[in-house]
């Protein structure tokens, strides 16, 4: 097996116990792409026609408000799938950008190929269902946990559930994810 597919295979093994020979039959649908830091894979207001598996690095999913403020929805680190799911499913323009926040190595599969695998390979169908369920759970938890909570409570939540974000990403990106200013984030970090 080509080394670029090892992490994807391991991910699928953890989720579905996929057979190695079966995986080798369809892994060629995933194309390796190396991204530079800050390279944009998808621009807001364009249709998303691909799904991404992160082998190495980190992708940020964010939108730009009319006021020019960046609002970060999600970070996809190693061994995670990521896409602009609403756009991928609906084929309407995406509300977000997808950007590499550090040099990254990703496996990209086209929408058509991905849905072909979902329809024909039960293990991929299970993974897709898992992606949908986790997206729903993550979004719901984040909305309800952040609604009405103070900036300090949001930071404490992040420290408890996703502490690696604080050490790996810039204050600007973390603040965007928490819905606060970088200044507020710095102040809160010194208070803790």
Q: Which residues contact 121 (CB under 8 A, 6 or more apart)?
A: 22, 26
pLDDT tens digit at each of 192 positions of the chain: 789 999 999 999 998 888 899 899 999 999 999 999 999 999 999 999 999 999 999 999 999 988 888 999 999 999 999 999 999 999 999 999 999 999 999 999 999 999 999 999 998 999 999 999 988 988 888 778 777 789 999 999 899 988 999 999 999 999 999 989 999 999 999 888
Task: Give the per-residue pLDDT at 72.
Answer: 93
Q: At the top level of CATH, which class does the domain 3-119 belong to?
A: mainly beta
For residue 149, the model assigns a pLDDT of 86
Please state whether the predicted TM-score (pTM) of the whole model is above 0.85. Answer: yes
Q: Which pLDDT score is estimated for 192?
A: 81
Instruction: Give residue 138's pLDDT.
Output: 83
Q: Whole-angstrom Cα distance, residue 77 to residue 165?
A: 10
SS3 letters across the chain: CCHHHHHHHHHHHHHHCCCHHHHHHHHHHCEEEEECCCCEEECCCCECCEEEEEEECCEEEEEECCCCCEEEEEEECCCCEECCHHHHHHCCECCCEEEECCCEEEEEEEHHHHHHHHHHCHHHHHHHHHHHHHHHHHHHHHHHHHCCCCHHHHHHHHHHHCHHHHHHCCHHHHHHHHCCCHHHHHHHHHHC
Q: Structural domain boundaries of the chain? A: 3-119
């Amino acid at each position: 097996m080509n080394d670029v597919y090892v992490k994807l295979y391991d991910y699928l093994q953890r989720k579905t116990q996929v057979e190695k020979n079966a995986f080798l039959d369809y892994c060629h649908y995933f194309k390796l792409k190396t991204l530079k830091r800050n390279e944009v894979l998808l621009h807001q207001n364009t249709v998303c026609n691909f799904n991404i598996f992160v082998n190495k690095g980190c992708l940020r999913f964010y939108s730009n408000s009319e006021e020019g403020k960046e609002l970060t929805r999600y970070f996809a680190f190693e061994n995670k799938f990521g896409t602009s799911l609403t756009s991928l499913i609906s084929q309407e323009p995406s509300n977000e950008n997808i950007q590499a926040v550090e040099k990254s190595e990703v496996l990209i599969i086209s929408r058509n190929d991905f849905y072909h695998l979902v329809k024909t390979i039960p293990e991929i169908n299970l993974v897709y269902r898992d992606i949908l369920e986790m997206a729903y759970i993550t979004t719901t938890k984040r909305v309800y946990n952040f609604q009405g909570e103070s900036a300090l409570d949001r930071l404490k939540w992040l420290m408890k559930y996703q502490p690696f974000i604080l050490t790996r990403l810039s204050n600007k990106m973390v603040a965007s994810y928490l819905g606060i200013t970088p200044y507020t984030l710095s102040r809160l970090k010194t208070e803790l």
